[in-house]
Amino acid sequence: MMGGFKKNLNLKNVMNKNISSCLYSLNEDVISHSINLLETKIKFKPLYTNSHFFLIQFFEKFFAFLPSFVYFNDQYVLYFLPSHKNRLINAKYSAKKTAFFRKFTKKISFINYNEPVKLNLLVLNLFPHIPIHFLEYKIEGTDSNLISIYVFAKECHLKFALGRKGAYIKTINDLMHSSLDQRITLFIRSIGE
């Protein structure tokens, strides 16, 4: 399974300049790179297809404004919205939101996204349905500098963080690889009860 994963990483060539400035090789002095990777401001690099444009237009038809970014796969559609617009939808247009969700066979999520956003805040916003206790990251010192971000949640919330058969975390990692940086992978960890 890991061989196929690495193959997908090599096919994509997405780099985020802000994240790249936080990485270091094993030969460099770690103290000189005191920037915390999770505090790095990032933004998505959208690559839209006709399906993306359809999803954006459909959203605009319901709510009369455009989302900042859209990502979808065979199970999920993720709409990234400015936080004030997301609050407006939840407060004022909850009936429209319910009707909008019913139009889809996929699971829909509205995610707070104010561009540029710090990486740690983006990761927290990607899991609005569970409380996250803390984040850690590890940089593998290979040629590609792979970044592992560990999301710690209570054991009772793991099934919600992972999604059915791991579909949600796979969707989030596909999003990270295709629209942010191919080197970032999220992992869910338990802190017990």
- pLDDT, tens digit (0-9, with 9 covering 90-100), for 113-156: 998 899 999 999 999 999 999 999 988 866 667 889 999 999 99
Q: What is the mean pLDDT of residues 151-179?
A: 93
Asked whether the predicted pLDDT for residue 25 surpasses 90, the reply is no
Q: Using CA atoms, how far apart are residues 101 and 106, in angstroms rounded to an integer?
A: 9
Least confident of 1-5, 114-118, 162-166, 188-192: 1-5
pLDDT computed for residue 157 by the predictor: 92
Q: Using CA atoms, how far apart are residues 44 and 28, in angstroms rounded to an integer?
A: 28
Domain(s) of CATH 3.30.300.20: residues in the chain: 1-42+118-193, 44-115
pLDDT band of 186, cuts 50, 70, 90: very high
CATH of 44-115, one of 1.20.1260.10, 3.40.50.300, 3.30.300.130, 3.30.300.20: 3.30.300.20
pLDDT band of 23, cuts 50, 70, 90: low
Least confident of 21-25, 71-75, 189-193: 21-25
Q: Using CA atoms, how far apart are residues 37 and 138, in angstroms rounded to an integer?
A: 10
Q: Supply the mean pLDDT for the chain.
A: 82
Class of the domain covering 1-42+118-193: alpha beta
45: its two tokens:
């690099």
Asked whether the predicted pLDDT for residue 27 surpasses 60, the reply is no
Q: Using CA atoms, how far apart are residues 16 and 183, in angstroms rounded to an integer?
A: 10
Q: Please say whether the beta carbons of 171 and 126 come within 8 A.
A: no
pLDDT computed for residue 32 by the predictor: 39
Question: pLDDT digits over 79-121, tens only?
Answer: 999 999 999 999 999 999 999 999 999 999 999 999 889 999 9
pLDDT computed for residue 31 by the predictor: 38
